Structure 1
Amino acid sequence: MKYWFLEDLSRLSKEKEEIENLYSKADWLQEIEWILESELTLIARIKAHGHIYEVKLSYHAYFPSTPPTVTPLDKEINWSEHQYFSGTLCLEWGPDNWHPSITGAQMLESAYKLIYSENPYGNNKQKEIIPSRHFLTQGQELRNKYFRFYAGQELLEYLTKLQRNEVFNIYYTFLIENRTVVFHVLEIRTTEDVLWTNIEFPAHLKPEEPDVGIVINTNLAKEKIKTIKTLSEIEKLYKWQFFEELTSAKFVILLDNTGNPHALFGFLENKELSVVSLIFDKRDKKRLPSPLETLKNKKVGIVALGSLGSKVSISLGRMGVEHFYIVDDDLFMSGNIERHILDWKSIGSHKVDAIKSQLLSLSSRMKVQVSRTNISGQEATSALDSVLLSLGKCDLILDATANPKVFNYLSAVSTTNNIPMVWGEIFAGGIGGLIARSRPELDPDPLTMRALLNGYTQRLPEFKYNSKSEPYLAELDENQVMIASDADVSVIASHISRFATDSLVEGADSIFPYSMYLIGMSNSWIFEAPFDTHPINTSALMEKENFISPTEEEERVKEFLQSLLEKKK
């Protein structure tokens, strides 16, 4: 580790000189002592209103690029509202406005101004309220608060409309994640009716029997509410009759006379309630481009939820798709973690079930059907037919298998039902990848496009595998190795997701001039560098298809089918 005071002796000399000058002139600076701990430190005694305050000025490793800190010598002492949880005083200079020209002496002067004005050890007549030079974000304020109440915009608006001084029941739950307990209101009720329902909260996260609490829109000032510690104190102010008893976890929301909510929580009857920090969510939720709003009415069928398919499925869910039919028979194993969107919590689960859980957690409106069928494996014919029929009811089919046999089945479904089909794969060693799509009446059918790709690649230089790379294919058996990084897979998955949404949005011109691309991620094979892209023109094939006239045999077959339909009538 480098020490600034050994490498910048001139700055060390300046710091020492400035502080000694301050010590000689300022009668409030009583004593100073330089010490060397893990970093250069100054212990100082500041006198204000007859009281002594011992502080520690610490020069950190990256000084003077970063500011020193001033804290009480006793880490347990809290002097001011302008003091962080770590004990550091919030002074005139901090990380947001620091400049290397500022010295430790100036930081001591700033500490004295704060202590003298607020007078922590003095009487109230000598104390002043010092305005903050900046405001903390919610994240900064809550980083040491482990009990939190999430209040969305719709809930906040409804709470303020509740009749004054009336008691209402709330159904609620809490989620424990990442060392935090977050409370969510699910419903607001009277004895007869449900007044408000949280339609945003994912259904599969709701417990079968939610906890029961109370909410009161009071006429109390926030200072009065802050003095309330138990349920008994609330009962003395407001008489209520529950249509359902409060559960053992006591959760109370009190709105003050300005409409701001305050949350309290406790486990035991008439024991002190703890304050629950509020998370206000008043931001505009519209973050998707307007054309993507139509995706909520589309259903996407995805076959194979490996590293590629899993990323695409979650991406499409975040982009607005709310209906999925996902197919995969595979289990999630520890060896999948390097590239898959799932993690250790899903080890041993079927991939479709774990991905379904993630999709359902994105939106309360999400609907996900799953199948654990192996389309190219040994299955009952009825099972295969059922999967293909279900895929035929989707608005788009996505093949993430890189399996020719599966591709043939999905191509038949796409062509028969006039459904767009999107597919992609990653090439050996993650050198690049393929994305392609076939849209009815706009592109050749998938089999024709695959034949075009095969003919195109046969004219290209042969790619020779070395000992460090293997073809990246679908996991057809346990011995195949998939060589590509998570970043490689993510690149192709993102392109496929954009291809899919572009194919689903109605009434908009496509942003893609081609329907098949080879995308490079390294200097290898035909790719000269990352981002080197080779589009493959399929429009000529489409023109040929449009001029094909029905043969005599096709006409005879049509007549045969028509006779069967007439007979059925």
Structure 2
Amino acid sequence: MSQNSALVARLREIRQIGERNLQEGMVNHMRWYEKNRELYLKEKRILQSYGYEIYIKDGTMECEGVSSVNSKYPIKIIYSDGFPSFPPTVKCEVSEDLILVRHQNKLTKSLCLFGFASERWKASYSAIELIEEIEELILRYSPETHDAEETVEDIVPEPLINQYDYRMGGILIPKPFGDLILDNFYDRNNCTVRYDKHRGIMDKVWVDEKIFLREKNYDEWFNNKPTFNAQIFKVTEQPPFTTEKIFEWLTNMRIQIKNKKKHFLFFVFEDDWGFVGNKRISWVALKIIDDKAEWVRCYIINDDDSLIRTPYGKDLAHKEVTLVGVGSLGSLVATSIAQEGVRKITLIDYDIFEPANSIRHQGEQHMFSYPKVDVVKERILSLMPTTHVNVEYIGIGGHRSTEQLTKLNQILNRSDLIIETTGSHKVSHYLNRYCLSENIPLIIGSVTNGAWSCEVVRIIPGDTGCWGCWNINYGTEIPPSAPVSEIQFAPGCDQPTFIGGISSVNIASGLIVQASIDTLLNIDTKDTQYIRWSERDSKGNRHYNIDYLGNPKSRDCEACNGY
């Protein structure tokens, strides 16, 4: 068989496979439609009563009609496989002068129903609610009827920045650039950007004679990529969403392009975010190569997004936490408190990272032979680059020089909270006495053998019992743990201290982090100083249980009576 004949045969085979897959897909669509037949028939009857024509295409129902409040608006409703969990897609193909002032994508012409990301849609809704929402949007936001001065309750405006005809990739706008406001910019500003084929990062920004530099922990990002000079333009209205007439628009805006072989322009403008009247700065980049232009999405890192997801993060940003022990449990705690918003973290551990640690550890295997504190620091900065991470190679409880002891005391003294996850009781006792003497909150977290259970003890000097009190109150109550097996190692032989998976360690670290946040924010958690969680019973059967218990002061506690 000749090479051409083989190619033809292969193309025929690929076509047959594609046709077979298409037929199977259509059969699956029709099966799904038959399964939801009654639901669709109900929707069909409602839409027909509103004058819609119904079509079945590839097992999907499509409906076409016209708005009853404005006949200039044709409506096409497409029911997806996810209905009724997801609302149908609604498109309104109108000319540019009729696009809704809000809640309609300028490019796809689709309507944003039931709020941004359809957050108000309920599975119990039917075509009646759908039609009502469509007609209300057209009535309120058609350019022919919209009253800009009318007060309209609208808490979900879609940011215009999402509607650009973007190509693959993007440019990161890190801190402090992401926190700049429109008033920080002049009409034209110089900047530099590091950029590869599809991705890049803003490097420097000049505003008048002042230079804004990105946070230093971003320095290694795209470090070996080409650096380009660029300009940032402050505009009062967003640029056009497509690049079809972009050079004409640039000319009208009196923006000159000196080099069209490869050039970047950035535009900043105010955009709606969250609710009507709430403005936030948006960025969009224009990449020009050989007289061809394309929009590049800008990914902004700023405090707004953090405060939305972790509203208490602003209060945590000024707290300083010291974490003793950064094994598998401690590494998860460290990265989690950084993502919660703590910006000052000291890591203390003397151990070295090995590839086998990465099975449960947050470190990556290529970091083997590094100290664990350096490995965890690297991981934290990859997640939250603005975090200040201090590392110390100290083994608490062992022999130390006077200089080392002084340094350790300085670190512990400036902490708002100390977290101990070493699993070593001698470390727990040492830190317990130190925190009692210096009035520093302490959290001790550990997992039992097999990570089938975890214990979190929260110690607030002068308010709760201490680690000694906990041993008196609960020392004889042992949570379920993995039975002894042949692969179990004896404690203290520098081998794995427990056998168990990352899923269990994740739960344990989450409980420790929650207790830490409550402590840092002074949240009243009366009689919940001791958290005890287990996922198995004493026989090893799956059985989840969690207890929140108090840790009252004990008259017999030697540690408490000493302070």
TM-score class, shorter-chain normalisation, is 0.5 to 0.7
Rate the CA distance shift 1:3–1:420 in 2: closer, same or farther, 3 A. Answer: same
User: Structure 1, unaligned stretches of length 5 or more?
Assistant: 47-52, 74-78, 119-126, 241-245, 549-569
Task: Give the Å deviation of 1:355.
Answer: 1.5
Matched, 1:184 2:202: yes
| Structure 1 residues 426-445: aligned runs within 5 Å | 426-436=447-457
Q: Distance in 2 between matches of 1:416 and 1:247?
A: 68
Matched, 1:6 2:29: no
Matched, 1:313 2:334: yes
Task: Give the Å deviation of 1:171.
Answer: 3.6
> Counterpart of 1:559?
none
Task: Give the Å deviation of 1:369.
Answer: 2.1
Q: Distance in 2 between matches of 1:224 and 1:544?
A: 68
> Counterpart of 2:420?
399
Of 482, 491, 499, the residue aligned with 2:499 is: 482
Matched, 1:213 2:192: no
Q: Distance in 2 between matches of 1:234 and 1:255?
A: 17
Please identify the structure whose Cα radius of gyration is greater. Answer: 1
Q: Distance in 2 between matches of 1:354 and 1:143?
A: 40
Higher mean C-alpha deviation, range 210-219 or range 411-420: 411-420
> Counterpart of 1:356?
377
Of 388, 395, 402, the residue aligned with 1:366 is: 388
Contact 2:450 2:498 in 1 (8 A): no
CA deviation vs aligned residue, 1:369-409 (integer Å, no higher than 9, x gap): 243x67799xxx67x87765543321255432213455577
Matched, 1:272 2:282: no
CA deviation vs aligned residue, 1:474-493 (integer Å, no higher than 9, x gap): 8954465422552x434443
Q: Distance in 1 between matches of 2:203 and 2:321?
A: 30
CA deviation vs aligned residue, 1:441-498 (integer Å, no higher than 9, x gap): 778886xx28x6278534x489685479998998954465422552x43444344345
Q: Distance in 1 between matches of 2:314 and 2:82?
A: 46
Q: Distance in 1 between matches of 2:390 and 2:350?
A: 13
Task: Give the Å deviation of 1:521.
Answer: 2.9
Rate the CA distance shift 1:250–1:348 in 2: closer, same or farther, 3 A. Answer: farther
Rate the CA distance shift 1:232–1:307 in 2: closer, same or farther, 3 A. Answer: same
CA deviation vs aligned residue, 1:228-270 (integer Å, no higher than 9, x gap): 5499969975699xxxxx99963323467999776444375x6
| Structure 1 residues 147-546: aligned runs within 5 Å | 147-148=170-171, 150=173, 159-164=182-187, 167-173=188-194, 181=199, 183-184=201-202, 186-188=204-206, 193-198=209-214, 202=218, 205=221, 207=223, 211-217=228-234, 222=239, 227-229=245-247, 250-254=263-267, 263-266=284-287, 268=289, 271-278=291-298, 283=304, 287-288=311-312, 292=316, 294-295=318-319, 298=320, 300-303=322-325, 305-317=326-338, 318-331=340-353, 333=355, 336-337=358-359, 339-342=360-363, 350-361=371-382, 362-364=384-386, 366-371=388-393, 389-395=406-412, 396=415, 397-404=418-425, 407=428, 421-436=442-457, 449=468, 453=471, 456-458=474-476, 460=477, 466=483, 477-478=494-495, 481-483=498-500, 486=503, 488-497=504-513, 511=525, 517=530, 519-522=532-535, 524=537, 530-541=545-556, 546=561
Task: Give the Å deviation of 1:327.
Answer: 1.7
| Structure 1 residues 56-205: aligned runs within 5 Å | 58-61=78-81, 63=83, 66-69=86-89, 89-90=110-111, 96=120, 100-102=125-127, 135-136=157-158, 141=163, 146-148=169-171, 150=173, 159-164=182-187, 167-173=188-194, 181=199, 183-184=201-202, 186-188=204-206, 193-198=209-214, 202=218, 205=221
TM-score calculated relative to the size of structure 2: 0.61
Rate the CA distance shift 1:385–1:495 in 2: closer, same or farther, 3 A. Answer: farther
Task: Give the Å deviation of 1:418.
Answer: 7.8
Rate the CA distance shift 1:441–1:158 in 2: closer, same or farther, 3 A. Answer: closer
Contact 2:250 2:256 in 1 (8 A): no
Contact 1:169 1:215 in 2 (8 A): yes
Rate the CA distance shift 1:454–1:483 in 2: closer, same or farther, 3 A. Answer: farther
Contact 2:191 2:205 in 1 (8 A): yes
Amino acid at match of 1:160: D
Higher mean C-alpha deviation, range 345-354 or range 228-237: 228-237
Contact 1:388 1:413 in 2 (8 A): no
Rate the CA distance shift 1:473–1:482 in 2: closer, same or farther, 3 A. Answer: farther
Q: Distance in 2 between matches of 1:229 and 1:333?
A: 54
Task: Give the Å deviation of 1:331.
Answer: 2.0
Task: Give the Å deviation of 1:356.
Answer: 0.5
Rate the CA distance shift 1:210–1:385 in 2: closer, same or farther, 3 A. Answer: farther
Task: Give the Å deviation of 1:540.
Answer: 1.6
Structure 2 residue matching 1:364: 3-state secondary structure: coil
User: Structure 2, unaligned stretches of length 5 or more?
Assistant: 1-27, 67-72, 272-279
Contact 1:392 1:419 in 2 (8 A): no
TM-score calculated relative to the size of structure 1: 0.60
CA deviation vs aligned residue, 1:93-140 (integer Å, no higher than 9, x gap): 895557654289979xx89x99xx99xxxxxxxx98999997435796
Percent of aligned pairs sharing the same letter:
15
Aligned residues: 486
Contact 2:436 2:560 in 1 (8 A): no
Q: Distance in 1 between matches of 2:303 and 2:241?
A: 26
Q: Distance in 1 between matches of 2:31 and 2:105?
A: 26
Task: Give the Å deviation of 1:309.
Answer: 0.6
Contact 1:429 1:472 in 2 (8 A): no
Contact 1:328 1:351 in 2 (8 A): yes
Contact 2:324 2:348 in 1 (8 A): yes
Structure 1 residue matching 2:264: 3-state secondary structure: strand
